[in-house]
Amino acid sequence: MANLKEIRKRIDSVKTTQKTTSAMKMVSAAKLRRAQDNYEQATPYSNKLKRVVSLLSSNFSAEDHPLFAQREKARVAVILITSDRGLCGGFNSNLCKALMAELDQNKIDHAQFTTLGRKGQEFFKRTNHKILENYTGIPVTEHRDTVQKVVQEHINKFEHNEIDRVYLAYANFISVLTQEPTIETLLPIEPSSSEEESLDDREILFEPPAEQILDTLLKKYAENRVAVAWLNSIAGEHGARMTAMDSATKNASELIEKLQLYYNRSRQAAITGELIEIISGAESL
Amino acid sequence: MSLQLEIVTPQQKFIEEDSVDSVTLPGTEGELGILPEHIPLLTSLASGVLSYQSGNERKALAIHGGYAQVENNRVTVLAELAERAEDIDVSRAQDAEKRALKTLSGKFGSDETEQQRLEKHEAKLKRALVRQTATRI
């Protein structure tokens, strides 16, 4: 039987851990609210932009712009968005595993990675894939510059025929409990078959001509998709951490309860043992 | 007949008005006046003043780049950056104008980085001027 002091120590240590996890849960809950707000504020713009792109690209066919060019998926680049910190359950590993499975399925074994977030880099540096660049610890205020830089680099490479396809991988925030690994094609941009019918059947007037708008608009669209995915991923990270810390706190409570019971039993057993010793000592006199 | 006006930026939904009488947009090819029953239009926007009339009220905003779409009496503005006239700090804009003018009066080389620097400061000057104009409407 473990000695009483040891059990006491164990209980104290679990209690300290519980304090940490419950504090982390509270912090994540506060951060989640802000992150979710940021994401929701950004969605109207993103939806409108998508609509404008689909309106515009329905006037064009795949040959009209280099960013529409569909090629064999030989050389692939991936922009992977993960969190910088751990302790958020399967948030990062689920995404990385899903991405790995997807790449294996398409028989891509030397993709070029650009990772936004430390965890993605840590996972893929152990594989055959090559990590070109890693961005860690970028505050939200600097997202815009980073995204512009990363997207511009990929667009240049794509237009110069150095890569054939760019994937965007991130964990999509569905609810606090669920984040779904999402892998989308960022480039080439698929000219959407305007599923949304125009409300007005008169011909659209473009100023400047559509060709000129198209170029900057497509770039903006790609940037916006990455930026929104990033905001989405941050919200997901906090959601996942909150859930993970919540269950950690619960587990700690259970463990403390069990240890406490064990401690009490041991203590009683020790007292009974001592009593028996005293009584049998007295009897023998 | 009236127009719906919606202005969104990458950060937030900026303005949503259900009935405005006219909108003036700072298009890259020149200013555009939008009235109800305008034909569908898609235009890119420059740095400039966007103003709209609703009833007797005329409101102005400083807009810096983006796109505008007109469709079915609905004007959607996707602005890179938008500021309401009442939120603009005029003295700050004036300072920015002076600073930009001072830098621009200096010398600029002809290589690419220098040209980019020139463009950057020209854009700064333009923004400062637009902000001041917006407050005067």
Task: Spell A84-112 as b/e; 16+ CB within 10 A means b.
Answer: beeebbebbeebbebbeeebeeeebeebb
What does CATH list as the number for A19-244?
3.40.1380.10
Interchain CB contact of B137 with A (< 8 Å): no
Interchain CB contact of B78 with A (< 8 Å): yes
pLDDT at residue A9, rounded to an integer: 94
Instruction: Judge: B43–A203 Cβ closer than 8 Å, yes or no.
Output: no
* Annotation says A96 is catalytic: no
**For the residues B2-22, what does the mean pLDDT come to?**
90
Catalytically annotated residue among A35, A76, A79, A88: A88
Domain residues of chain A, as ranges?
A: 19-244
**For the residues A59-86, what does the mean pLDDT come to?**
85
CB pairs under 8 A between A and B: 81
Interchain CB contact of B29 with A (< 8 Å): yes
pLDDT tens per residue across span A123-142: 998 888 989 999 998 888 88
**Of A165-169, A181-185, B121-125, the least confident:** B121-125
User: Which DSSP symbol is given to B136?
Assistant: H
Reported as a pLDDT band with limits 50, 70 and 90, residue A198 is: low
**For the residues A40-45, what does the mean pLDDT come to?**
91
Residue A225 in this model has a pLDDT that exceeds 90: yes
CA-based nearest distance B46→chain A, Å? 11
For tokens 């926007």, name the residue: B45
Instruction: Judge: B40–A48 Cβ closer than 8 Å, yes or no.
Output: no
> Across chain A, what does the average pLDDT equal?
89
CA-based nearest distance A110→chain B, Å? 34
pLDDT tens per residue across span B31-77: 999 999 898 888 999 988 999 998 888 888 899 989 999 988 899 99
Question: What are B118's two structure tokens?
Answer: 């020139």
pLDDT at residue A2, rounded to an integer: 61
Instruction: Judge: B27–A207 Cβ closer than 8 Å, yes or no.
Output: yes
Residue A140: closest CA among A256, A252, A38, A284: A38
